[in-house]
A = this chain, B = another copy of it.
Amino acid sequence: MQNAKLDFMGLLAFDLGGTKLATVFFNSEGQILFKEIAEVRKSKGGDVGALICNNITSLMEVLSLRGDKIESIGICVPGIYHEKEGTVWAPNIPGWYEYPLMREIVKVAGEIPVKIDSDRACCMLGEVWKGNAKNSKDAIFFTVGTGIGAGILINSQILRGTHDIAGAIGWMALQTPFLEQYSDCGFLEEFASGEGIAKLARKYISGKKNYSGKLKDISFEEITSRDVFSAYESGDKIAEKVINKCIELWGMATANLVSLFNPEKIIFGGGIFGPAIPLIPKIKEEASKWAQPISIKQVSFEPSGLGTDAGVFGAGFLALKNLKQ
């Protein structure tokens, strides 16, 4: 804990991923006063909940010694948050199907206000607070990592849908006819997610006899999207074919967002943006072919301004907004 003077309110933010928990204590200006990363890999669901609760309790103790306190708590979860029920569905945390996270947190937080939301929602809010969507009221965070999702901001509010699962853009249909293989995770995710990129590269390599490019050095089953990007940068033809397909699909998907939502910004984030950031102008070029022609001129396509910190900043902003309401 740094010895910084708190501004006037202390915001405790958590970003829970499948493998780690980031705990950050912000002041209301968004300055980081304290930051800690803990491993959660292979933890049981209950242990993960307990870890968050312990962090709250020990921080409360430390702060009370100084006469300071946590004024609001925000939590970013890797899945869906059901607001009415206070429960989380997070496929990568064992046992978190309808995990009653709000109930567990309130047990230790007491009177401190608590707000929870999905990672895609938090990333969008983080960009509004301290990233590349400052002052935007209508923006979309398009996140491509293992999966694909969209955090959608409409008139400064996150779009939730009738049962909290809006923004499931990994399921976007972009190519007839339907094939059974799209049933597991959706058409767009099948081709243009991190896993999809690796899978498509393997498929193209299998189909090409005498392939002697960069990806040949990697054991076939172990090819990752990162390998594909690295091969793409050195001009490998297979990698080029895979990435060009992704540019086309990301372009069509974001074109559809532009036509439907008429947003100010689309922010590209997640592990793939990352290495795909230099492709954003090409994605916009593809989107410009398809989208409503006035809307596409009114939108800017930008990378995340916060990278892997977008979620925890969003959790901090959740906490701040909750306090102001």
Contact = CB atoms under 8 A, between A and B. Distances in A.
A165 B295 contact: yes
A177 B176 CA distance: 11
A31 interface: no
Q: Please tell me the size bucket of the interface on A.
A: 35 or more
A162 B298 contact: yes
Interface string A258-296: 011111100000000000000000000010011110110
Contact of A159 (B137, B154, B186, B255): B154
Nearest to A184: B293
State how many copies of this chain the complex holds. Answer: 2
A152 interface: yes
Given A161-B262, A162-B298, A164-B262, A186 B252 contact: no
A107 interface: no
A167 interface: yes
Select the residue from A161, A173, A252, A298 with max chain B CB neighbours within 10 A: A173
Contacts of A292: 165, 168, 171, 186
Contact of A138 (B138, B157, B161): B161
B261 A166 contact: yes
Select the residue from A138, A165, A259, A286 with max chain B CB neighbours within 10 A: A259
Given A159-B261, A163-B298, A168-B292, 15 more contacts: A138-B162, A155-B157, A164-B262, A165-B294, A165-B295, A166-B260, A170-B259, A171-B290, A171-B291, A171-B292, A173-B255, A174-B174, A174-B175, A178-B290, A260-B260
